[in-house]
């Protein structure tokens, strides 16, 4: 681990903002609720589009129409999840930067899941113009589903890898 990353984590965790979150009986659960709400909105709208790209579910809308309908909700969920996640991270930054499950989660989420997510949103307009979705769209929908599964598996493993006393 880089000394600069640990120095940043120590600085962030020492800020008044992080101290307030980690020391309050009600702020931390509220921030956690906010993060999970954002994740539910973000991942839920992603899954709806991915399932549509896979040809699953009702076909009342094309993938392109569904993508347009969910676009604002999807990015609102993303923004809420990032704000909540950063706030949770700030409260225990020194523990998170040495947690292997957290590092795997971010390692999958940032370069892979976000890139695939953005590609799917952009390409769904072209792929989903017709009722029948092309094979490449199905593969990308499946890839995003699998990446989300990996992110969730890593996220729920974070408590199992906590290193106490850091």
Residue 65 placed within a domain: yes
Q: Would you state the pLDDT for residue 1?
A: 64
Residue 166 placed within a domain: no
Alpha-carbon gap, residue 139 to 146, rounded angstroms: 10
Q: How far is CA 117 from CA 41, 78, 93, 153, 156, in A?
A: 14, 11, 26, 18, 21
Alpha-carbon gap, residue 132 to 152, rounded angstroms: 30
15 is in which domain, residue-wise?
3-161
Q: Whole-prediction pTM value?
A: 0.85
Q: Would you state the pLDDT for residue 82?
A: 94
For the stretch 77-91, pLDDT in tens is: 999 999 999 999 999
Token pair in block for residue 21: 């979150």
Residue 156 placed within a domain: yes
Residue 79 placed within a domain: yes
Q: Would you state the pLDDT for residue 163?
A: 64
Residue 104 placed within a domain: yes
Please check the confidence at residue 15 and state whether its pLDDT lies above 70.
yes
**Structural domain count of the chain:** 1
The answer to whether 147 touches 113, Cβ cutoff 8 Å, is yes
Give the residue from 52, 80, 81, 79 showing the smallest Cα distance to 67.
52
For the stretch 117-128, pLDDT in tens is: 788 777 777 876
Please check the confidence at residue 147 and state whether its pLDDT lies above 70.
yes
């Amino acid at each position: 681990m880089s000394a600069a990353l640990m120095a940043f984590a120590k600085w962030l965790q020492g800020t008044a903002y992080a101290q307030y979150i980690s020391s309050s009986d009600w702020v931390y659960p509220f921030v956690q609720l906010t993060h999970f709400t954002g994740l539910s909105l973000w991942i839920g709208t992603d899954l709806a589009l991915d399932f549509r790209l896979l040809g699953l579910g009702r076909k009342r809308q094309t993938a392109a129409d569904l993508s347009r309908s969910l676009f604002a909700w999807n990015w609102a969920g993303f923004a809420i999840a990032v704000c909540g996640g950063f706030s949770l991270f700030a409260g225990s930054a020194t523990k998170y930067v040495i947690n292997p499950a957290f590092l795997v989660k971010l390692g999958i989420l940032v370069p892979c899941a976000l890139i695939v997510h953005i590609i799917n949103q952009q390409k769904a307009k072209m792929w989903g113009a017709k009722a029948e979705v092309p094979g490449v769209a199905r593969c990308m929908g499946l890839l995003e589903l699998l990446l989300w599964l990996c992110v969730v598996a890593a996220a729920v493993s974070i408590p199992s890898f906590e290193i106490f006393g850091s």
